[in-house]
A and B are shown apart, each in its own frame.
Chain A
Amino acid sequence: MFLFKLMSFLLGYVTILVTGDAPEKFINMAASRGISLWDVARSGEGGIRLKVRLSAVKPLRHMARRTRCRFRICRREGLPFYFARLRRRKALALGAVFCVGVLYLLTSFVWFIEIRGNEQLSSAEMLEAAAEAGLTRGVPKWQVETGAVEAKIMERLPLVAWTGVYLKGTRVVIEVAERTLPVEEDQQPAHIVAGKAGLIKEVLIVSGHPVVKEGDTVVPGQVLISGVIPAVEEPEPGEEPEPGQKSGEVRPAAYVHARGIVRARVWYEGYGEVPIIEEGRRPTGSTKTRTSIKFEGKEIILSGSQNIPFEHYEADTLVKSLPSWRNLIIPVELITIKYHELSDYKIERSPEEARRLAEERALQEALASLSPNTRVEKQWVEEVQTGRAENLVRVKAIIEAVEDIGADKQFKP
């Protein structure tokens, strides 16, 4: 049926109004001669309106005469008629052709250049390299040779390991993969100092001169591994040369970038308290929203009730006002207030339960201050006694951790 309608549209069809004594006869004759009719409906007094294909109109004239009917064409539809109408409106047809032509012309240029995958290289550098190979914004697409652009980028920018240039409509995508170059080591003379207070557990030196040893207590900022390697003086006569050092070797003081790992025991503290009988208010989860418009001091409620439906509540107010332009301020504000209902609660805990909860909180606090890559050696909790009976259980948690406390600090020799 759809195919039939489509064919009718392509070939053109007309709506005709048949009048006469017996339009049924006319319809029968047409149908029996293989002319398909559709949408047959009574129209007004005595007339029948129906649709036929354009090619069937001529034989219908003959049949109308035979059955003593008359017909009149009311509407013409379909492609042939549209074309005829277009022929009369040359400017419109020309405009349509022109539009398609311009669209085609415009799509044959490069309008956008997109660069993907560059992290160290700047996009400007990439674009410059591409421009040298003839790829800039606005060049015709047929002049862009992707292979040549790829080769040019590889040649110009040694940091690029691979590049791919694709045309996607009016967009050119340049994808690059960069080489990772080895990170240059910092050669500035530097000490390693303590970042935290602690008890030194082990010292491992890659370069530099040790200042502290195992078992030392250090404070933040104290030098752990010095970047100054002291000069070796000429051994004084009679003094034994130090072990591990060839006798007779003399060299001046050297400055290096100290490297090494200094692990120390560090203590972290956390504190938690939990009341045995806890009272307070907390949200029940039920909320009500009120939206209103404020205009020159007057508030008009759009939705939500006028009085607040909760006994205890917390309100979140959101005011939206129109952006001001120059010195024009529009005095209209949209105010949305969200009321959260609160209710009283009372929790009674046993002392053991309160203590357990306080311990948990204290430990959590202590763990939160721990830096990553830290090994927890030991942890313990102790109750803080204030000496008098009270509603609170106070607990202190202590975590002993072993971590690298060294931090670089440059110095001027």
Chain B
Amino acid sequence: MAWRDVKRKVKRQISEILEIPGDVALDLPKIILFGNIQLYIENHRGILEYSPEGVRVSVGEGEVMVEGENLILRNILPDELCVEGRIFSLRFD
């Protein structure tokens, strides 16, 4: 555990020094939200749960919860995901 924390800390410092975007160096999800109708998640780790009222997506560490209505998954690629519908909230768990 300690070793992993140290590794992450070093990684973050290096990315800060070199100004490398987080999604490249730190394996963070890149989330693009178009108003409340469309949401792109790049760098995801899979869908945990899907229903028209909510989508739970696993990302590097933890998960992203999207709540709304009439949600559909417009597109699923190995590392990209597009959710469409009326989005009410976006939460990191």
Contact = CB atoms under 8 A, between A and B. Distances in A.
Interface of A: 1, 23-24, 27-28, 30-34, 36-42, 48, 50
B31 to A, nearest CB: 17
A36 B47 contact: no
Say what secondary structure dominates the interface of chain A.
mixed
Contact of A31 (B48, B49, B72, B76): B76
B52 A36 contact: no
A40 B76 CA distance: 8
Contacts of B50: 23-24, 27, 40, 42, 48
Contacts of A28: 46-47
Interface residues of B, number: 14
Contacts of A1: 75
Interface of B: 46-52, 72-78
B74 A38 contact: yes
A208 B47 CA distance: 112
Contact of B48 (A24, A36, A39, A48): A24
A28 B63 CA distance: 14
A307 B15 CA distance: 84
A168 to B, nearest CB: 48
Lowest 3 CB-CB distances: which A-B pairs, in order? Answer: A40-B73, A28-B46, A41-B72
Contacts of B49: 24
Contact of B52 (A24, A31, A41, A50): A41
A33 B76 CA distance: 11
B73 A41 contact: yes
B38 to A, nearest CB: 12
Nearest to B73: A40
A50 B74 CA distance: 9
A39 B50 CA distance: 13
Nearest to A22: B49
Contacts of A40: 50, 72-74, 76
Given A36-B76, A39-B74, 13 more contacts: A23-B50, A27-B47, A27-B73, A30-B76, A31-B47, A31-B76, A32-B78, A34-B78, A37-B75, A37-B76, A42-B50, A42-B51, A50-B73
23 contacts: A23-B50, A24-B46, A24-B48, A24-B50, A27-B47, A28-B47, A31-B46, A31-B47, A31-B77, A32-B46, A33-B78, A36-B75, A37-B73, A37-B76, A38-B74, A38-B75, A39-B73, A39-B74, A40-B72, A41-B73, A42-B51, A42-B72, A48-B50
Nearest to B77: A36
A33 B79 CA distance: 11
A24 B47 contact: yes
